[in-house]
Amino acid sequence: METSAPMTEAMYYVLLTLSVPSHGYQLLSAIARASRGRVQMGPGTLYGVLTRLESEKMIQVVNDDGRRKTYEITEPGKAALAQETSRLQAMLADQERWEGEVKCLKN
């Protein structure tokens, strides 16, 4: 199975929130909501990620009226997001299992 490099936090949240087509303003508030206020993304980071993901065809522009662009996630983007989510879940599961094993050894 082909594996890609781990995503940055910014990249992950942009892909996650673009399951709903959004423009820049909507994305910033969606990311803050999705991370329960933990991630306050700067505008420089947001447009850097959008430009990169668009060039890597993980997102696409669905509406461009010359003033405002609306983006949405593409199929390759969804696949990359699912792969990264699995990786993070596996890491969390590993961490829980390991802590359980350490607890058993101590007892």
Partner 1 sequence: MSEKLVRKWLLDDIADIDCNESWLSDLAQEGLFLDHLGARFAYFKRDTPRTMRYRFDVLSRMLTSDELGLYDSCGWHFVTLYNEVTFGADVIYYVFTTDENATVPELHTDPMEQAASLVHLHRQSTVNLVLMIALTAVVVGVQIYMTAFTSPSTRFNTLVYGGSNYIWTTFYAFYIWQGARRYLAVRRLRRRLSGGQTLDHHADYRKVHRNGKIANIAFWGIYGLLLLVLVLIGTIFLERGTQKPIPAELNFPAARLAELETDPALELSQRTVWNHQRYLTGAVVDDIFEEGYLGSKRVYLSTTCYRLPFAFEAPAVLEGMMDRYGTYFTENAHRADTEPFDEAWITDATDGRRECYLFARRGREVWCIYLESDTQGVENILPLLAEKLDG
Interacting residue ranges for partner 1, rule: CB under 8 A: 8-11, 23-25, 28, 39-49, 51-52, 66-69
Kindly tell me which of 7 and 73 has the beta carbon lying closer to partner 1.
7
Please report how close the Cβ of residue 78 comes to partner 1 at its closest, in angstroms.
21
Four-residue CA torsion sign, 12, 24, 77, 82: positive
Cα R_g (the chain), whole angstroms: 17
Kindly tell me which of 52 and 78 has the beta carbon lying closer to partner 1.
52
Place of tokens 């329960």: 36
Please report how close the Cβ of residue 17 comes to partner 1 at its closest, in angstroms.
15
Query: Cβ–Cβ contacts within 10 Å for residue 15, how many?
Result: 23
Kindly tell me which of 65 and 103 has the beta carbon lying closer to partner 1.
65
Kindly tell me which of 42 and 100 has the beta carbon lying closer to partner 1.
42
Please report how close the Cβ of residue 28 comes to partner 1 at its closest, in angstroms.
7
In angstroms, rounded to a whole number, what is the distance separating the alpha carbons of residues 45 and 39? Answer: 12
Please report how close the Cβ of residue 7 comes to partner 1 at its closest, in angstroms.
10
Q: Which of 21, 30, 10, 16 is CA-nearest to residue 61?
A: 21
